[in-house]
Amino acid sequence: MNEERKTILEMLAEGKINTEEAERLLSALSKETETGSDVTKIKSGYKYLRVVVEPGPESENSERVNIRVPLKLIRAGLKLASFIPKDAQVKVNEALHEKGIDTDFSKIKPEDLEDLLGQLNDLTVDVEGKEKIKVFCE
């Protein structure tokens, strides 16, 4: 029995909610679980992370970038990053900070990556009409 279900039943036992409310909450919880399993199915179907940069309508530059990175490679890279000694990680973070990137990659776990990819639905960034950056999974 999961924690949420247990809490609902405890609330019912304590008389904080009535049977109808408990039933409604439990059905909502089961729907949420089903949706969660659908997301997992979608996630497992992804093989690549794509980054596409195209010139915008106001762009004078015609540079196009098309990058396809296997998700397995990203996951393996994240795991490898966790094996980097701490003193080296500090140096890497300092170098990233100098470049304006305030992210500690050693703290990103594979589960976080899965969540991030699950939420990444055809993200498009328009850079002042000059460039269009698309990030998506396929």
Partner 1 sequence: MIPLLLRIRIRRKSHRGVSLWLPLFLFWLIALPFLIALLPLVLIAALILWPSGKGKPILCAYLMIFRLIGCLSGLKIDIRSVDNTIYINLI
CA angle 123, 99, 47 (to 5 degrees): 35
62 binds partner 1 (CB under 8 A): yes
63 binds partner 1 (CB under 8 A): yes
83 binds partner 1 (CB under 8 A): yes
Of the pair 28, 88, the CB lying nearest partner 1 is at 88
Among 1, 19, 41, 80, binds partner 1 (CB under 8 A): 80
Instruction: Name 51's bridge partners.
Output: 67, 135
Between helix 19-45 and helix 110-119 the angle, nearest 10°, is: 100
| CA-CA-CA-CA torsion sign (95, 99, 104, 110) | negative
**Cα separation of 89 and 82, whole Å?**
9
109 binds partner 1 (CB under 8 A): no
Of the pair 69, 127, the CB lying nearest partner 1 is at 69
Binding site for partner 1 (CB under 8 A): 47-48, 61-70, 72-73, 75-77, 79-80, 83-85
